[in-house]
Amino acid sequence: MNISGDIVEYQRKINIKDGINMILYISGRTDIVAFYTPWLLNRFKSGFVDVKNPFYPKKISRIYFKDVDLIVFCTKNPLPIINYLNNIKIPIIFQITLTPYDNDIEPNVIDKNKIIAGIKQISKIIGLDNLFVRYDPILLNDKYTLEYHKKSFLKLCNLLDGYVKHIIISFVDNYKNVQKNMNVLKLKEINDNDIEEIGKSFREIAKEYNITLRTCYEKNNLVNFGFLNEPCVSIEHVYKITGKKYSKWKARDCNCAAMVDIGDYNSCNHLCKYCYANYDEKRVKNNILKHDVNSSILIGNIKEDDEIKVRKH
């Protein structure tokens, strides 16, 4: 099955703006698409979104969607927003995380077959070049072995044959949340031999399905095994979509194009045991209760003493 991945054709429907440079990341701090799509749709209707500074919560950035060049959606469950994608008159890149773990590690992730069906729908809407699947992160223990991952990756590529051209992988990091959940994760150290086996086997599988592989923000970039040495949101790709040149993202040492994340930490109800953005499950539950679908900010509401400034880049 061939699906057009022509970026230019997709962008003909979009009015590219000059002057302001802004990419919205929705979101690396929480899964807005999975859990907060009604709020996001309200923000689109209102024409702006307010974002708390995670380090100085009284400082609020106001972002007008008319100033946005590109939206990068990042989610484990794309289903809530699929029916609204054609109404979003801003270019889109979609990153969808699809890993082979059960609810012991990913307690609230929906059925993976539904995610696969959603990926296929999105592929038809935005094209192959704007869709990335993340097999992310790879972790090893007695249950999730190297053989388990190789079989799972082969199955994934087979199910998405013709619908996906790019897959990003990463390896689990020792985040605070990982340390707290070690009794569940029971991680085994990923050594150089493991990385080599993953690199070689994944590359052979991906080659069979005409899929490119890359890592992002990984010291082991696997280029020796045929992986692309490119970030997941490259400056070159962004330029093709927007016609604008972006600098590298200062907030991360990953070489991705500079983006503005509109999410809040400790607010994702997937509660994945390896997550970097959730590190306090009690706070997650409290934040979810504070969410107001009609608020301009994701968690809570604007207060009188908050300082709001319009953000332009």
- Tell me the pLDDT tens digit for each residue of 189-206: 999 999 999 999 999 999
Residue 273 maps to which CATH number? 3.80.30.30
Instruction: Specify the DSSP element, H or E, that contains 88.
Output: none
Size (the chain), residues? 313
The verdict on residue 164 lying in a domain is yes
* DSSP letters for 137-161: EE--SSSS-HHHHHHHHHHHHHHTT
Domain boundaries, position 175: 7-310
The verdict on residue 1 lying in a domain is no
The verdict on residue 265 lying in a domain is yes
Give the model confidence (pLDDT) of 195-242 as tens digits.
999 999 999 999 999 999 999 877 778 999 999 988 999 999 999 999
Return the SS3 of 241: helix
Number of domains present in the structure of the chain: 1
The verdict on residue 27 lying in a domain is yes
Q: Whole-prediction pTM value?
A: 0.92
What percent of the chain lies above the pLDDT cut of 70?
94
Is the distance from CB of 133 to CB of 164 less than 8 angstroms? yes
Could you count the other beta carbons within 10 Å of the beta carbon of residue 164? 27
Q: How far is residue 222's CA from residue 227's CA, in Å, rounded to a whole number?
A: 6
The region, left, alpha or beta by phi > 0 then psi within -120 to 50, assigned to residue 222 is left
The verdict on residue 2 lying in a domain is no
